Structure 1
Amino acid sequence: MPGVDNFHYDVYLSPVLTESVSRIIFHLIIKASGADDDIGIEFDGLKDREEFKHLCHDIMLEAVKRAKLGDGEIQIDYLAQMAVCKLLTREIAHQFEELIIRLNNQVWEYESTNDDEMILQTISLKERILAIRHKRNIIVNNVSREIFEYLLEAQIPLKERREANYGTQSLLKEDIFINPLLHVENQKDDYLMLEHFVLLGNRVDDPDKYEELLQLIKGLLGRIKMLPANEKKDMGTEVSPVEGVENRENRPAGVNRQIDGWISEVENLDLLINYFRTGAEILEKKNKKNNDKEELRRLGRMAKEQKKIFNTFYNKFSQKKLMRKIMAANEMKAIYLDYCPPLVPQQVLQFLISGEARKSVAAHLKRLKIYYGKTISLVPLKKTIMKIGRLKEQKRKEYFLRYLKGFFRYHRDLGNFNILKQALDRINLVADEKTIALSKTNNTLYEFLLPQEQVFELDTKPVTSHVIMKADVRGATIITKQLGESGLNPASFFSLNFFNPISEIVSQYGALKVFIEGDAIILAILERRDDEAGKYCVSRACGLAINMLNIIQKYNAKSKKYTLPILELGVGICYHNAPPAYLLDGRKKIMISPAINQADRLSSCNKILRKIL
């Protein structure tokens, strides 16, 4: 159920875990940025890691138990994993900024002195801060990879229990969490793409844009016809000669989804086109004694089919004039950091593949000489151009296969990122006491705490349903007027004959006072989950109503004796098969329930209708 804002799911994570996460991530960021000497904080990396893993394991174990025994829903386990994931991503960004703030504070301290040595340290520190900011994505990715690996290690002991509870298919895959795209602001960042995937075009007319390549690959995969094993014993695939199928508009939506699923599994690429690996497997088996001839024939047919599909891909990419870009993007990995900055990776790529761009980039570097005080050599770039031109066909095909694998990984991780981001955006990690109290009161707070942090109380069990009962004194306005005209006190009359005697029996039936006004009282009886004593709330409300009427009848007999007004009580009882909602006015809870209005109408039922009933 959504939380207090009716959109996000309110989650309260263990304060001990939160503190541990902040500490270990800050230490990892200091280490990854090389700012150990600047910050001057000593920390025990092994102790931090083991404490974090231990706390994560305990939190996740509690969530698994709740999902199986208490709430009976796997979504509880998913929510716990997503909440911890959000905590980690949030803290990585926050602690990086915390490091920059601390370093800037040191700069201001140095600048406030007149010491020449301090001034030199300030200049050096500013350069280091600039370098750290420039390497933000690299630092964040390194820290993210490390901390999420610890998270996965912490959950290894829970894998068997989860499989037993939910089944293998319901487990979240590891690559959902180990995702480089999760921790950067720009999911198409060139540095990120070169380090983890493949460099793609960003301009509108680039043929190697993600969207263009995706449709090209989907079109090629759409030409592969999958046959059942009983129809084709060799491999189960063949290349369809129908060129028109490549147009995505001619493919049914279900086929598009199926192809998208193929691309999301990187291993499928090896099965479909990696005849290099199959060939190596054939050689390995041939070198063994007593090799299986039938298996060798099967692998031979498989390699032939794979090569056919590979060549279809290779030729199509060549027709689109993408091969030089692919070769250049692979070769530039060894040198691009020597030029970036001041260049960006796309400029390096254009230098390698375009004569016109080469002149532009060379002129740009020449202009930058006045800022750097030295000439940036173009020799490594020119050598790379020559190397690309001398690439053998076999090496070009290996680079092409590597490029496709990188694209498949990017497609998978981008899809996982979008799904995960939607989930994380719906989670609100609450910390302030007011929000926690309001969400907890309305049974919308999901708490994932350590065993020692949990406090078990009866009234913390979730409310499943409730009854509202309203007791309304009929003709109270007339009675008040009569008593006033007789010089009597209406307040004491209602108190002695109505409120006081009724208040004495309310607790006996487990009822709570919701609202009290001059001539009426509204009570609630709550049913809680797994609380046998709290069931039968309607029957208890009826018993309370009968007792109320008996009390009023008793006091009316006394009032007749002293010629005082007679009280007539209207009672309305309404059951609602859901928990009530609450507003908080300071520490006071104000109940909201549709049953209140219905009970009010029932209690004011007129005399004619009562006679008919």
Structure 2
Amino acid sequence: MKRFDNLFRWRPDAEEFSKPLQLKRPFKLLFDRLPTGIDNHRIDVALSPEFMERCRLFVRRSMMHDVTENYWGEPPPPPDNKDLLALREGYAGLMELTVDRARKYNRLEMVQLLQFGVMKFLLRLVGQEYDRLRNQVQRAKNLDNHQSSGRSVQLHDRLVALARNEPAIRYRVTRRLFREILKIENMRLSKLRKSVLGRSWPVPKPLLFNPMLQLPSLWADEQAMGHYPLVCTDRDDPDAFDRVNRLVTGLFAEFLPSWCANVEPSDQFDTTCSNIQAAAQRHPGEQGGLIGYTETLMLLKRSLQPSEYQSGQCSWLDSPENIDRIVYSVKHGGAIRTDFDAPLFRTTWHNDKWPGFHHRLMKQILKAFHGSRVERDLLACHAGPLVYQELNRQVPVRLLCQYLAGRMTRGDLQRKLANLPGKIAPAQVIKVLDRMRSTISSMPAPRRRRRIFSFLRHFALFRRDLKQAYQAHLAMRRIHLLIRPEDIELSRRNGSLLEFPLREELQPEQHRIRNHVIIKADVRGSTTMTSELRNRNLNPASHFSLNFFEPINKLLENYGAKKVFIEGDAVILSIFEYEDTPYQWLCVSHACGLARKILQVVDNQNVKNRENDLPELELGLGIAFSDEAPTFLYDEGREIMISPAINRADQLSSCSAAVRKSEYGKRLGRGVMVLTPAPSETVNKESSDKLIRYNVNGIELDVPAYYKLKSELSFRRVELESGKRVMNDHLLVARYPDLEGHMHDLVIREAAVTVWDGEKSGRRAADGRCYYQVISDPEMVDYAVKQANQRRRPLSGAVSAPQQAKPTSPGRYH
């Protein structure tokens, strides 16, 4: 009858079930593009010696502070913030240089290599510094025994404390180390990678900062319980993870890919937790000094198909949030009601039959757990950490969990408690545990159900992190960190060494200008303005200085700009890219931002000028790029810069008097318009590109600057509405950081050059040329950013030429 009844009960297929759920893309490691090193197996990597020394000092002093404060009963040495700052700046320096290499040579794998290389170095470093501290105390004890100075007992106690608390010491230092790295990543470096490479995290953040990688061991219960339930990491029960994995994947078997199914492993992983650690310590070269790889492999190989964990395939089960989306997609009631009113998820299944199926699925889950060993274990492991804190952390939490789960008799517990160090009253411990066992056995059904549903999510998190930890270990095992100078030199000679230096460690020949950009800001109508000021007995020099030159001077530092010279009523600025300052290899981005700021400053000053009935300033700005260093001459100690970009910027900032005085020009207002003369038209002054420019409070980029900008940033294209379009032009949107790390929006307009017949602009030029304008109007910038964020479509390759459309005023694009 039950089989017949099931025929009429709706069940979604696998596709319909998983459609509303999140699905992460598998991580793709790009190390196959890198050369093999001197051992013909791994990739040779040499990190900056200065960076490694900074890390070593930070870890050494942090560990000494931790040990003296928590175990030796001595006043800890005061923390030194200089060590922390040096660590952060060192890592930032490595990343900035590497990001530029990745952009310049299209080598994203270099960023991945640096991140995994630094991770491997830091994880090994904590172990090395712990061994160093222990050996230091051991040598002092041996010397004390020889000299009979009387400190032998104290030193022996310190050695015992170090050995007993090794997992806690290593975990706290490692955790702090990665927390500091994550801070500088979030504050600065992820934004840099996003603006330059178009990707914030070439290695996913959950993979790189996986808590499982920072644990001293998967069996370190006191540290692991802060992140995962202890059900799956029992040192004495290597099948614990497999037992839970079979139960959970079995419940969702018909909705998961076939490679998620449990299979019996063809060859049992015949090793124990204890000899994994012993083997790693005896053969640090084989394990890379990291025991986590073999521990992770032990659990995965017993439970998951190789096709899942070796290739890093992802299902909806690898997003723990999906468990909540399933469990809380319908309000619980009746036999599945819990004592927790969780908010319902909006992204759910729209089929009217879903609530009925959901109710049956939840009952099936609860039935599978009810009375099983897994349920007893998860309830005990949830209560164990609470009892552990109540007993002042004197009894191992695993011992508590085993007794609470009914897997240890009272007599066995008493014998184990008697063997523990310290003053422990077994009767008091057992009294607390029996009280908790009574609480668990009498737990109301709604609360027990909530524990089960919560455990499902935490198990999915553990399972995902276990797979990601394996992927991280695979990547780290492919890296050969070279330390010995002879190995580094051998790999360098063979052309297989991948080096990650700091800026100050670059060779002297790298300290040179690689290219530069010129910005010219030209004041319009300065002669007329000067005459008017003099007629009113006002000082023209102070007016220009206060309203133009001095405000510009205050902007230069944030964008790395220098003043080349002042040419009457114009100022010429430069931004250089140096070989040893990769973070500043955004010269055109910074030039565009500085030009916008200059216009903004002048607009603010003009508001005051209008209030005081003073003449307003009007500018034209041009930005020109040269892919080589400028030439410098010296005249009586004064540096004179020679560059073709100066003349080019002068042309871009100019404004044709013929166009501006025409009836057409009087209607244009603010902005940039570039025209080509009709064959029969003659103009008094033509630029070298044979074009006529209208530039009133506008910013024009030359073509080399535009293409350099595209190499610096990742742009998204925005098509304009018909009322905002000129000759089918469009906008390009990106973000860039200034030298202080603050992010800014940048919008570029690409438009077609049109023909000027002496009175108006008409058809598009026959040669199809385009010009490029930096948008400074805040409303247009906000509009473009909003459109780009809605579409999220990256721009790839060259932009196609715009087609002919009805011309309109460029004043919409100032």
What is the TM-score when the length of structure 2 is the normalising length?
0.46
Question: Does the Cα contact within 8 Å between 1:141 and 1:183 map onto a contact in 2?
Answer: yes
Of the three residues 59, 84, 87, the one matched with 1:52 is: 87
Cα distance in 1, alignment partners of residues 54 and 377 from structure 2 = 46
Deviation of 1:262 (Å)? 2.3
Question: Does the Cα contact within 8 Å between 2:48 and 2:501 map onto a contact in 1?
Answer: yes
Deviations 1:189-228 (A, max 9, x none): 43344332112357899697112222321222223489xx
Deviation of 1:62 (Å)? 0.5
Cα distance in 1, alignment partners of residues 324 and 433 from structure 2 = 32
Secondary structure of 1:142's aligned partner:
helix
Matching residue's letter, 1:382: D
Cα distance in 2, alignment partners of residues 125 and 454 from structure 1 = 45
* Residue 221 (structure 1) aligns with: 252
Question: Does the Cα contact within 8 Å between 1:328 and 1:349 map onto a contact in 2?
Answer: yes
Question: Does the Cα contact within 8 Å between 1:273 and 1:309 map onto a contact in 2?
Answer: no
Greater RCO, 1 or 2 (C-alpha within 8 Å, sep 6+): 1
CA change 1:303–1:452 in 2 (3 A) is farther
The answer to whether the aligner puts 1:146 opposite 2:176 as a matched pair is yes
Alignment coverage as a number of residue pairs: 428
Cα distance in 2, alignment partners of residues 252 and 24 from structure 1 = 41
The answer to whether the aligner puts 1:174 opposite 2:205 as a matched pair is yes
Secondary structure of 1:197's aligned partner:
coil
Matching residue's letter, 1:263: L
Of the three residues 6, 25, 42, the one matched with 2:59 is: 25
Deviations 1:549-574 (A, max 9, x none): xxxxxxxxxxxxxxxxxxxxxxxxxx
Cα distance in 2, alignment partners of residues 200 and 417 from structure 1 = 18
Cα distance in 1, alignment partners of residues 173 and 193 from structure 2 = 27
Deviations 1:463-503 (A, max 9, x none): xxxxxxxxxxxxxxxxxxxxxxxxxxxxxxxxxxxxxxxxx
Cα distance in 2, alignment partners of residues 305 and 160 from structure 1 = 44
The answer to whether the aligner puts 1:263 opposite 2:263 as a matched pair is no
Cα distance in 2, alignment partners of residues 184 and 2 from structure 1 = 30
CA change 1:382–1:304 in 2 (3 A) is same
Question: For the pair shown, which has the larger CA radius of gyration, 1 or 2?
Answer: 1
Secondary structure of 1:195's aligned partner:
coil
Matching residue's letter, 2:67: S
Cα distance in 2, alignment partners of residues 42 and 370 from structure 1 = 28
What is the TM-score when the length of structure 1 is the normalising length?
0.60
Moved more, 53-62 or 393-402: 393-402
* Residue 459 (structure 2) aligns with: 407
The answer to whether the aligner puts 1:430 opposite 2:486 as a matched pair is no
The answer to whether the aligner puts 1:98 opposite 2:139 as a matched pair is no
Structure 1 portions without partners, runs of 5+: 227-243, 287-293, 459-529, 531-613
Matching residue's letter, 2:446: Q
Deviations 1:378-415 (A, max 9, x none): 21111111111121122212222332233222212211
Deviations 1:116-149 (A, max 9, x none): xx44xx4344334322322222222222221112
Question: Does the Cα contact within 8 Å between 1:336 and 1:345 map onto a contact in 2?
Answer: yes
* Residue 523 (structure 1) aligns with: none
Of the three residues 258, 267, 273, the one matched with 2:327 is: 273
Secondary structure of 1:3's aligned partner:
coil
* Residue 330 (structure 1) aligns with: 382
Matching residue's letter, 2:213: L
Of the three residues 102, 109, 132, the one matched with 2:162 is: 132
Where does 1:231-246 land on structure 2 (aligned, <5 Å)?
none
* Residue 401 (structure 2) aligns with: 349
CA change 1:208–1:262 in 2 (3 A) is farther
Deviation of 1:313 (Å)? 2.1
CA change 1:373–1:225 in 2 (3 A) is closer
Matching residue's letter, 1:147: L
Cα distance in 2, alignment partners of residues 203 and 172 from structure 1 = 30
Cα distance in 2, alignment partners of residues 65 and 362 from structure 1 = 63
CA change 1:8–1:270 in 2 (3 A) is same
CA change 1:302–1:84 in 2 (3 A) is farther
Question: Does the Cα contact within 8 Å between 1:350 and 1:357 map onto a contact in 2?
Answer: no
Deviation of 1:260 (Å)? 5.1
Cα distance in 2, alignment partners of residues 44 and 343 from structure 1 = 31
Deviation of 1:73 (Å)? 1.1
Cα distance in 2, alignment partners of residues 186 and 17 from structure 1 = 27
Secondary structure of 2:40's aligned partner:
coil
Secondary structure of 2:41's aligned partner:
coil
Moved more, 426-435 or 350-359: 350-359
Question: Does the Cα contact within 8 Å between 2:231 and 2:378 map onto a contact in 1?
Answer: no
Where does 1:374-385 land on structure 2 (aligned, <5 Å)?
375=426, 377=428, 378-385=430-437
The answer to whether the aligner puts 1:196 opposite 2:227 as a matched pair is yes
Deviation of 1:336 (Å)? 3.4
Deviation of 1:67 (Å)? 0.8
Secondary structure of 2:45's aligned partner:
strand
Cα distance in 2, alignment partners of residues 370 and 410 from structure 1 = 32
Cα distance in 1, alignment partners of residues 157 and 331 from structure 2 = 47
The answer to whether the aligner puts 1:10 opposite 2:48 as a matched pair is no
Deviation of 1:337 (Å)? 6.5
Deviations 1:482-525 (A, max 9, x none): xxxxxxxxxxxxxxxxxxxxxxxxxxxxxxxxxxxxxxxxxxxx
Identity of aligned residues (%): 19
The answer to whether the aligner puts 1:211 opposite 2:242 as a matched pair is yes
Secondary structure of 1:34's aligned partner:
helix
Deviation of 1:162 (Å)? 2.1
Cα distance in 2, alignment partners of residues 352 and 106 from structure 1 = 43
